[in-house]
Amino acid sequence: MTQYWFLPAALIVAAIAVSIPLSQYAAWIMEGQYRPLPVFGWIEEKLDSGPQDWKQYTAALLIFNLLLFVWGYVVLALQPIMPLNPRGLGMLAPTTIFNSVASFMTNTNLQHYSGDVHFSNFSQIFFTIANQYISAAVGFCALAAIIRAFRGEKKVGNFFVDMWRVLIYMFVPAAILSGVLFIQQGMPMTFQSTVQVNTVEPGAMGTDDKGEAKQQTLVVGPVAAVIPIKQIGTNGGGFFGANSAHPYENPSAWTNFITCLDMMIFPFTLVLMFGRMLRKMRHSIVIYGVMLTLMVGMIAWAIHYELEPNPGLTAHPTSVTYKIPSATAKGGFREIQVPSVGGLPVDQHLGNLEGKELRFGTVAGPTFAALTTAITCGAVDCAHDSLNPLTGLSPMVGMWLNCVFGGKGVGMINLLLFLIIGVFIAGQMVGRSPEYLGRKVGAREVKLAVIALLVHPLMILGPTGLFAATDWGTRAEFNPAAHGFSEITYEFTSASANNGSGFEGLGDTWGFNANPNPAPESRPWDIAAGLVMMFSRYLPIVAPIAMAAFLGMKKEAPYGLGTMRDDTMTFYFLLLGTIVILGALLFLPVAALGPLADHLGPMPFGG
Amino acid sequence: MEALKTTQTSDPNVPPPLSVPPRRSRAQALFAPELVRPALREAFVMLRPDVQWRNPVMFVVEAGAALTFLFIIQAALGMSSSQLSTGYFIALDAWLWATVLFANFATALAEARGRAQAESLRAARQDTPAWRLKGQDIVEQVLSSDLRRGDRVVVEAGQIIPGDGEIIEGIASVDESAITGESAPVIREAGGDRSGVTGGTRVLSDRIVVKITAATGESFLDRMIALVEGAVRQRTPNEIALSLVLSAFTLIFLIVVVPLWPMALNAEVYMQSYLGIAEPLKSLGTDVPTLVALLVCLIPTTIGALLAAIGIAGMDRALQANIIAKSGKAVETAGDVDTVLLDKTGTITMGNRHATEFAPIGNHTALELGRLAAMASIADDTPEGKTIVKLYYDRGGKPGDLTIPKGTEFIPFSAQTRMSGIDLPDGTVIRKGAPDAVLKFVKTQPGSAPVELQKTIDSIASQGATPLLVAEGRTIAGVVVLSDILKAGISERLERLRKMGVRSVMITGDNPLTAATIAKKAGVDDFVAECTPESKLAYIRREQAEGKLVAMVGDGTNDAPALAQADVGLAMNSGTQAAKEAGNMVDLDSNPTKLLEVVEIGKQLLMTRGALTTFSIANDVAKYFAIVPALFAGTLPWLNAMNIMHLHSPTSAILSAVIFNAIIIPLLIPIALRGVQYRPLGADALLRRNLLVWGVGGVLLPFFGIKLIDMMMVAGRMVA
């Protein structure tokens, strides 16, 4: 049994161990206490447009993202005429470009295309890599601004300087270190686009006219430049369509471990950085504990259910009868018969191996799935669509809550929303009007928190309902019934959580604009998911910054016996309870219609 | 010798002792019929949409109930495509309307209680005749309602004071029992800090001239009555923030419920094709009234229904404690107070110093010293003098020893001599007074101070007591120790404050040494000695600069700036008009320790809100387990595994949840009106306790409640 739990346990221990010193370093950098190297110092000086208040900071952030949108659109639209395109790849469908640009700008990296098929190396470098560094830093900067606002500072920093600090002093060094390790493990790093190889089994790719065995064409490129920041920046947009299940994107067990660790380190670190910068270490440890509890729970849940056999392959040898109420039927009930099904002769003692990268085994897939969704990374190393129905619940819950470490910065920000609402409601039970960080939480703050919190369910449930009831959904899903519903739900969940992982099992790829046979409903999916990503990105960043600014403007009262402590076990349970109950209230019905119905019903994976 | 007997009559200048429990004389039974009947009527009147609009949560319920009613009409006309029975719709709709009515009833009942409370006060201020001064000496009789601000009226013994005002001439004993319920009369006089009088109280003796400071309809009481009446009730900042959150939750659950319709449709369409049946397959998930029921169950109706009642009840509790708050905000702020400033005299200690010990010097015995001191005090009518005589009797002195022969001359206390005493006809001269004054007197006799005197005086002073020197002719007999007597129970109350996390600060004009001793004895956290109105104001500002909220009590005109500056300023009803205007609360009993009660009322108000909100939201978990499997029983029967309560049928499950959701409102009315009991346990322990009771309890209770209702409906054959 220990073999199953070693990987997740080692990952969590390693992430905790790294996050403690790294948080000190991150706080040191974000406080600007370092002495920059001469050239860097000069650039930093040029970037520094002076201290900004929260409105200026937010404006800078939004304008910067707008420019990022334009940049992304131009790069992708011009792919056919840009260099580094020896394969002569054409232009993607406009809706796909819109979706991809929205996706990478918002740190989502939902991919309605396949990186190795549709992107030239130019697009990979100037679109994928550029966005992965920059969009990842945006959330980080937003958190830094929120922390400074919480401290009561009128000027919450300078967006451009913050961006520079995050990129140069944190992401780049970490990415270089990971990249070197990846290259050593065999990850490609080249400007070449393809290589021709002889297959191990001659003729595996067929024979040409002369009867000679065809060579296989393998796509390569600057993979080792994409993958580190893909993980460290919790982006998740793979170089290859198969993402981290691809042998070039994840060559060995070691890279799998580092890949997982890379996505964990900054989200773990930022919680502690929050505490260090606010001088409230114990408070941030309580938050850290809540997140860790939920994360361990989700990983354990995923692994537990994935070690069960795949219900789609097992038999239920007798037919089952269900009674359903029906006014027209005799006796008020209609009976439905689900016929017996013979199992397939598959050895399932290792659990559900369907859709797994066999090099990594049964456990690595659900571990990765739970991590990549709790943290809004979205890289995958197994097919989430093929996870057992209840296992698939774990990644969905991770994205529904979206604050179990979450993305860099934004995860912590999302947690603050739950926290403010929990403090506002339950905090009054100490007999004082609610306070956070010694400041009274009033109507304005709580309004902003609720607005930010409300976007997420609206953007998931609204479109899911719309697509589930129309051809847009039913014609796109690969599996019918509850599993198909999960596919639709997952896609919008991933988009709204800015996660980017795909359950898949959806026809949502148009491909090149010239594609004669695109997936029929891919256009609505491109547009809807693109809009969801943008709404769910910016409102939950801007509203919390404003909330923190308004809260910070209030007088800070000292802690006393009568004030609620935010660094105790009681607060731990308060926060945990708030997240679990609110999360359940928002998403229990879709969980029932999707994964639970899939699991409980007689037709797993749609029968 | 009659005058020497200690009398039992209480000194009108001394506020009632602390041990008297706060009066609840006007507290009504919770569901008194005379309140319930009008409240029931009002509950129906409040169904008006424009009234409901003020409470978005209940407005949504009402809109849902109206919508469901349309479906009933549709079914009655035989136009319904639904396979559900009309009886189900009717039952559902009835309970939705009941939910709104219960909410209205809670608010109406709270208002009725508040109004009844205020009415009983207002009864005291029926129109009474008033004698208004016109010019210098001309008096005209008018009605009290005709009085304007600034009018001067004459009130004589036996007459009722026609309006709130300030005495500008004279002194009188006033019966304020109509307002305070306290039967002992109080002294009110012009010029001092006890010049304020309230309309409706009765002058018992003497004649006063009162300057009316508030025209009828504008007085504090009228303002207070307005505060508990729905129409003009201003919601407090915290209440506004909470209703915002509740509205947001309503919106969130709309977001959850509305998409369920297409989602359920998805399941229906699929299952129909899977089963290959011709007629459409229907589940409750696409039945609009059922979705309305789900929405109503999920939105925080419990707290939405009781929120107004909780606020009104908070004001009402203040009123029951005879405190008139000028705004709801003041009551709420009281719960947040970090520091309370308490005047030493009257709040922490009894109004006056008491003689507590005779410390003889030289050959004198204590009793002898006592006799001399008592002799010197016989004619002294000050409270201090009386306590000296009383102490002498307590220590075994006999009244016979205090015989005063004819021809005795009494020397009264004066600010110049700072001593008093008697000269007996036999030439014996007895003096008592401030040590330096008496010493000076003794030296003129001529006499001298014994060596141990200074030591005795110093040791008394260091205990926070005041030494009073007694001399007989040229010899110093000893020292009478005058001590501040702590009010009974004050230490416990201060301890309670500390446990609440409220810092107490004693304000006194005493020197730092005395102040420190009393502060230590009483157990206050800090003190301000040799305090002036300016230093009091400065102290408040300093605390506020640190982000703390400060409460204080005051009655004098020179307290007014500090009262206005403080976040909670409790003015004494006996105080000057300026003080009453500056503070944001007035205590009709003029009992400074009321401040502690005010803090508890504020805390209770906030706690009740938090507890019922937590409870309301925690309730939703169980409702999901009842409703979600029921919604999809027609299409996804295997979701019945989620029906962990084993409810009888889909419709009974939904009805049970709706009924539970409705009847929890009246069941919680007592808690909303009485408030969740506040215990000074410290914030963490209190939070833990309340989270367990209202959070965990809120999750668990409805599982049992819904199951019980379901079982009862099955037993009563009310469901299919």
> Tens digit of pLDDT for each residue in B688-719?
999 999 999 999 999 999 999 999 999 987 77
**Nearest residue to B334 (alpha-carbon basis) of B581, B572, B601, B592:** B601
Chain A stretch 515-574, residues whose beta carbon is closer than 8 A to a beta carbon of chain B: 555-558, 560-565, 568, 570-571, 573-574
Min Cα separation B336/chain A (Å):
5
Give the per-residue pLDDT at B183. Answer: 60
* CA atoms of B356 and B465, how far apart (whole Å): 9
Using CB atoms, which residue from A468, A560, A589 is nearest to B501? A560
Q: For chain B, say whether A332 makes contact (Cβ under 8 Å).
A: yes
Sort strands B349-360 and B503-507 into parallel, antiparallel or unpaired.
unpaired
Angle between helices B86-122 and B56-76 (to 10 degrees): 140
**Nearest residue to B625 (alpha-carbon basis) of B646, B607, B602:** B646
Q: For chain A, say whether B688 makes contact (Cβ under 8 Å).
A: yes
**Nearest residue to B263 (alpha-carbon basis) of A601, A483, A465:** A465
User: Under an 8 A CB cutoff, do B606 and A433 touch?
Assistant: yes
- Which of B243, B270, B550 has the highest number of chain A CBs within 10 A, making it the mutation to test binding with A? B270
The letter for the amino acid at A498 is: N
Task: Report, as an integer, the average pLDDT of B594-617.
Answer: 92
R_g (Cα) of chain A, nearest Å: 25
- Residues 6 or more apart whose Cβ sits within 8 Å of residue B73: none
Tokens of B655: 């009805």
User: Under an 8 A CB cutoff, do B606 and A438 touch?
Assistant: no
Give the per-residue pLDDT at B388. Answer: 87
3-state secondary structure of A549: helix
- Whether residue A192 contacts residue A81, with contact meaning beta carbons closer than 8 Å, is answered with no
**Nearest residue to A492 (alpha-carbon basis) of A595, A403, A399, A383:** A399
Identify the sign of the CA torsion B636, B637, B641, B646: positive
For B167-233, give the DSSP string.
EEE-EEEEE-HHHH---S-EEEETTSTT-EE-TT-EE-SSEEEEEE-S-TTSSHHHHHHHHHSGGGP
Q: For chain B, say whether A321 makes contact (Cβ under 8 Å).
A: no
User: Under an 8 A CB cutoff, do B84 and A441 touch?
Assistant: no
Give the per-residue pLDDT at B6. Answer: 37
Q: Which residue of chain A has the CA closest to B676?
A: A429
Task: Report, as an integer, the average pLDDT of B633-644.
Answer: 90
Token pair 């698939």: residue: A392
Min Cα separation A499/chain B (Å):
21
Token pair 């000086």: residue: A45
> What's the angle, vertex CA B501, arms to CA B497 and CA B507, rounded to 5?
55
Q: Give me the half-sphere count of Cα atoms (radius 13 Å) on the Cβ side of residue B49.
A: 6
Provide the b/e sequence for B326-350 (b: ≥16 CB within 10 Å). bbbbbbbbbbbbbbbbbbbbbbbbb
- Among B93, B343, B484, B710, the active-site one is B343
Alpha-helical regions (H) of B585-678? 594-618, 620-631, 650-674
Give the per-residue pLDDT at B11. Answer: 41
Tokens of B453: 């005197």
Tens-digit pLDDT profile for residues B315-357 = 888 888 888 888 888 888 998 899 999 888 777 887 677 888 8
Against a cut of 0.95, is the pTM above it? no
Q: Sorting pLDDT into bands at 50, 70 and 90, what band is B28?
A: low
**B193 noted as active-site residue:** no
> What's the angle, vertex CA B424, arms to CA B420 and CA B430, rounded to 5?
35
User: Under an 8 A CB cutoff, do A430 and B255 touch?
Assistant: no
**Nearest residue to A132 (alpha-carbon basis) of A82, A182, A174, A194:** A174
Tokens of A94: 């406009």
Q: For chain A, say whether B332 makes contact (Cβ under 8 Å).
A: yes
Give the per-residue pLDDT at B233. Answer: 65
Give the per-residue pLDDT at B351. Answer: 65
Q: Give me the half-sphere count of Cα atoms (radius 13 Å) on the Cβ side of residue A432.
A: 32
* CA atoms of B46 and B423, how far apart (whole Å): 79
The letter for the amino acid at B532 is: T
Tens-digit pLDDT profile for residues B417-461 = 778 888 888 888 888 888 888 888 888 877 777 878 888 888 887
> What's the angle, vertex CA A97, arms to CA A93 and CA A99, rounded to 5?
115
- Backbone φ, ψ for residue B553 (5° rounding): -115, 145
* CA atoms of B136 and B138, how far apart (whole Å): 6
- Whether residue B537 contacts residue B565, with contact meaning beta carbons closer than 8 Å, is answered with yes
Tens-digit pLDDT profile for residues B198-218 = 877 888 878 888 888 876 555
Q: Sorting pLDDT into bands at 50, 70 and 90, what band is B647?
A: very high
Angle between helices B594-618 and B237-257 (to 10 degrees): 0
Q: For chain A, say whether B241 makes contact (Cβ under 8 Å).
A: yes
Q: Sorting pLDDT into bands at 50, 70 and 90, what band is B121?
A: low
Chain B stretch 543-572, residues whose beta carbon is closer than 8 A to a beta carbon of chain A: 546-549
Token pair 């956290």: residue: B525
Give the per-residue pLDDT at B14. Answer: 40
Segments of chain A scoring below 70 in pLDDT:
1, 327-331, 607
* CA atoms of B188 and B159, how far apart (whole Å): 15
User: Under an 8 A CB cutoff, do A593 and B263 touch?
Assistant: yes
Q: Give me the half-sphere count of Cα atoms (radius 13 Å) on the Cβ side of residue A189.
A: 16
Min Cα separation A216/chain B (Å):
42
**Nearest residue to B201 (alpha-carbon basis) of B183, B169, B178, B229:** B178
User: Under an 8 A CB cutoff, do B610 and A425 touch?
Assistant: yes
The letter for the amino acid at B665 is: I
User: Under an 8 A CB cutoff, do A585 and B613 touch?
Assistant: no
* CA atoms of B21 and B234, how far apart (whole Å): 31
R_g (Cα) of chain B, nearest Å: 35
User: Under an 8 A CB cutoff, do B259 and A432 touch?
Assistant: no
- Going from the C-alpha of B509 to that of each of A387, B132, B536, the distances in angstroms are 78, 40, 11
- Whether residue B125 contacts residue B200, with contact meaning beta carbons closer than 8 Å, is answered with yes
Q: Sorting pLDDT into bands at 50, 70 and 90, what band is B680?
A: confident
- Whether residue B484 contacts residue B473, with contact meaning beta carbons closer than 8 Å, is answered with no
In eight-state DSSP terms, residue B138 is: E
Q: Which residue of chain A has the CA closest to B271?
A: A481
3-state secondary structure of B134: strand
Strand partners, B134: B138
List the beta strands (DSSP E) in A62-133: none
Give the per-residue pLDDT at B220. Answer: 65
- Residues 6 or more apart whose Cβ sits within 8 Å of residue B106: B305, B306, B308, B309, B665, B666, B669, B672
Tokens of B97: 């309307």
Give the per-residue pLDDT at B23. Answer: 42
- Residues 6 or more apart whose Cβ sits within 8 Å of residue A235: A104, A107, A109, A131, A132, A135, A136, A229, A377, A378, A379, A500
Using CB atoms, which residue from B242, B255, B270 is nearest to A454? B255
Predicted complex ipTM exceeds 0.90: yes
Q: For chain A, say whether B693 makes contact (Cβ under 8 Å).
A: no
Q: For chain A, say whether B17 makes contact (Cβ under 8 Å).
A: no
> What torsion do the CA atoms of A292, A23, A256, A309 make, to the nearest 10 degrees?
10
Q: Sorting pLDDT into bands at 50, 70 and 90, what band is B16?
A: very low
More confident residue, B486 or B694: B694
Chain A stretch 441-470, residues whose beta carbon is closer than 8 A to a beta carbon of chain B: 441-443, 446-447, 450-451, 453-454, 457-458, 461-462, 464-466, 468-470
- Going from the C-alpha of A36 to that of each of A168, A458, B299, B428, the distances in angstroms are 10, 44, 54, 94
In eight-state DSSP terms, residue A532 is: H
Longest dimension (CA), chain B: 128
Name chain A contacts of B638, Cβ cutoff 8 Å: 322, 597, 600-602
DSSP helix, strand, coil percent of chain A (3-state; round to 5): 60, 5, 35
Average predicted confidence (pLDDT) for chain B? 84
Per-residue three-class SS string for A478-501:
CCCHHHHHHHHHHHHHHHHCCCCC
Using CB atoms, which residue from B332, B611, B637 is nearest to A324? B637
- Whether residue A193 contacts residue A121, with contact meaning beta carbons closer than 8 Å, is answered with yes
Measured from the Cβ of residue A348, the count of other Cβ atoms closer than 10 Å reads 18
**Nearest residue to A266 (alpha-carbon basis) of A132, A119, A384, A121:** A132
Min Cα separation B649/chain A (Å):
9
For A129-154, give the DSSP string.
IHHHHHHHHHHHHHHHHHHHHHTT-S
Give the per-residue pLDDT at B708. Answer: 96
Measured from the Cβ of residue A3, the count of other Cβ atoms closer than 10 Å reads 8
Number of inter-chain CB pairs under 8 A, A vs B: 249
Percent of chain B residues past pLDDT 70, beyond the cut: 91
Note the Cα B303 to chain centre separation in Å. Answer: 22
3-state secondary structure of B503: strand
Using CB atoms, which residue from B635, B639, B683 is nearest to A562? B683
